[in-house]
Amino acid sequence: MREAVPGEWADAELPLTLEDRRSLLASPIGHGLHPRDLAIMLAEGYASLATASKGDILALAAQAQREFFVVLAGTLEVARADASGGRHLLDVVGRGGACGAVTAFSDRPRWPAAVHVVEDARLLAISTAALLSDAAPSQTRQRLLQNGARLLAERARHLHARGELLVRRGLRERLAFYLLRQADAAGRVPLTMTRQGLADHLAVSRASMTRELGRMADEGLIAMRGRGFAVLDAAALARFAD
């Protein structure tokens, strides 16, 4: 069930759809914000709204950075080219997620990798240059700075989980760890990225991942559910993931 939008957000006149509002409130950056805060953010240059089409590149590696993105709709991929010309996927950011927040708050912010739009996106660009400026303090700015700290903590947890995934050497071990971390209370694992994106996220080939998923389904560990999966034997997966 979709989370309801609070009445003040549902009724306010804002340049956001209801889905956009849900995405903002689901993000750490939206914690405790009121509609008037968003209006102030847009009016005073702390934030701006943007759209991007599939195939667009929002940023390049080493490019100077003055903002980060909150994804209101669509999907972004953060990827870096390797020495052989291949593409190494670092992150997939979907609805309610943030892209570039960690580096945006650094002393000399630069994008660590390229940001690709893989699904038409609506974005809220948060200007860290404006947030960290010498402008007079305000309640809205204070909320945003506090939420920025929450967001950095969430990103730290995300990066820690990513590190835990990649230290697992075997393909089945990585798949088991990923599926258990992503499953909801009913064992459902919605897939917000493409199968190729998932293979890149796991740092394996798509062909080998597809074969292993098939074997895991044959063994009754998981089931395919549309674009996603269902965990059928969490105890067995946990043994592989450890």
The pair phi, psi for residue 92, each rounded to 5°, is -125, 125
pLDDT, tens only, 90-112: 888 888 999 999 999 998 999 99
* This prediction's pTM: 0.77
Q: Which two tokens stand for residue 122?
A: 């609506």
- CATH of the domain spanning 169-241, picked from 1.10.10.10, 3.30.9.30, 1.10.40.30, 3.40.190.150: 1.10.10.10
CATH superfamily placement of domain 7-165: Jelly Rolls (2.60.120.10)
What was the pLDDT predicted at 71? 96
Does the pLDDT of residue 200 top 90, yes or no? Answer: no
Q: Half-sphere exposure of 66 toward its Cβ, with a 13 Å CA cutoff?
A: 8
Give every CB contact of residue 14 below 8 A, 6+ residues apart in sequence. Answer: 21, 35, 38, 39
The mean pLDDT value of the chain amounts to 90
The pLDDT confidence band at residue 135, using thresholds 50, 70 and 90, is confident
Does the pLDDT of residue 139 top 80, yes or no? Answer: yes
What residues does each domain of the chain span? 7-165, 169-241
Does the pLDDT of residue 121 top 70, yes or no? Answer: yes
Q: Half-sphere exposure of 124 toward its Cβ, with a 13 Å CA cutoff?
A: 27
Report the chain's C-alpha Rg in angstroms.
19
The pLDDT confidence band at residue 1, using thresholds 50, 70 and 90, is very low
What was the pLDDT predicted at 120? 96
100: left (phi over 0), alpha (psi -120 to 50) or beta: left
Pairing status of strand 98-99 against strand 188-189: unpaired
DSSP-assigned states of every residue in 15-35: SS-HHHHHHHHHSGGGTT--H
pLDDT exceeding 90 applies to what percent of the chain?
A: 67
